[in-house]
Structure 1
Amino acid sequence: MIVVTSSEIAGTARDASGPGWESRRMIVRDDGMGHSVHETRVKKGAELHLHYKNHFETNYCISGEGEVEDVQTGKVFPIRPGTIYALNKNDPHILRATGSDLLLVCVFTPPLAGNEVHRKDGSYAPVE
Structure 2
Amino acid sequence: MPTVPKGIARWAYPYFPWNTDADFHRLVTRPSRKYRLLGRCTLLVRSVEDVVGSEYDVDWGNGTSRRLLVQADELGFSLTETYVQPGSESYLRYDNHQEVCYCVSGAGSVETADGLFDIKPGMLYAPGMGEPHILRSEHGMTLMCVFSPALQGPEKHLLTPGVHSSY
TM over 0.5: yes
Look up the SS of the partner of 1:105 in the other structure: strand
Query: Which residue of the partner structure matches residue 108 of structure 1?
Result: 147
Is 1:50 aligned with 2:92? yes
5+ long unaligned stretches in structure 2: 1-42
Higher helix share: 2
Q: Post-superposition shift, 1:111?
A: 0.4
Look up the SS of the partner of 2:106 in the other structure: strand
Q: What is the alpha-carbon distance in structure 2 between the residues aligned to residue 60 and residue 18 of structure 1?
A: 18
Query: Which residue of the partner structure matches residue 123 of structure 1?
Result: 166
TM-score by length of structure 1 reads 0.90
Query: Which residue of the partner structure matches residue 66 of structure 1?
Result: 108
Q: How many residue pairs align between the two structures? A: 121
Q: What is the alpha-carbon distance in structure 2 between the residues aligned to residue 20 and residue 36 of structure 1?
A: 20
| Cα deviation digits, residues 36-78 of structure 1 (max 9, x gap) | 00000001101000011111100000000100000x33x0000
Q: What is the alpha-carbon distance in structure 1 between the residues aligned to residue 63 and residue 132 of structure 2?
A: 18
Query: Which residue of the partner structure matches residue 91 of structure 1?
Result: 131
Q: What is the alpha-carbon distance in structure 2 between the residues aligned to residue 119 and residue 111 of structure 1?
A: 19
Q: 1:42 to 1:59 in 2, by over 3 A?
A: same
Higher strand share: 1
Q: What is the alpha-carbon distance in structure 1 between the residues aligned to residue 127 and residue 76 of structure 2?
A: 17
TM-score by length of structure 2 reads 0.70
5+ long unaligned stretches in structure 1: none
Name the % identity: 40
Query: Which residue of the partner structure matches residue 78 of structure 1?
Result: 118
Q: Post-superposition shift, 1:101?
A: 1.1
The one of the two structures with greater contact order (alpha-carbon pairs below 8 A, sep at least 6) is 1
Q: What is the alpha-carbon distance in structure 1 between the residues aligned to residue 130 and residue 148 of structure 2?
A: 11
Query: Highest CA radius of gyration, 1 or 2?
Result: 2
Query: Which residue of the partner structure matches residue 70 of structure 2?
Result: 28
The amino acid that maps onto 2:128 is N
| Cα deviation digits, residues 87-123 of structure 1 (max 9, x gap) | 234210000012x211000000110011000145410
Matching residue within 19, 31, 36 for 2:61: 19
Look up the SS of the partner of 2:140 in the other structure: strand
The amino acid that maps onto 1:10 is V
Q: What is the alpha-carbon distance in structure 2 between the residues aligned to residue 19 and residue 31 of structure 1?
A: 25
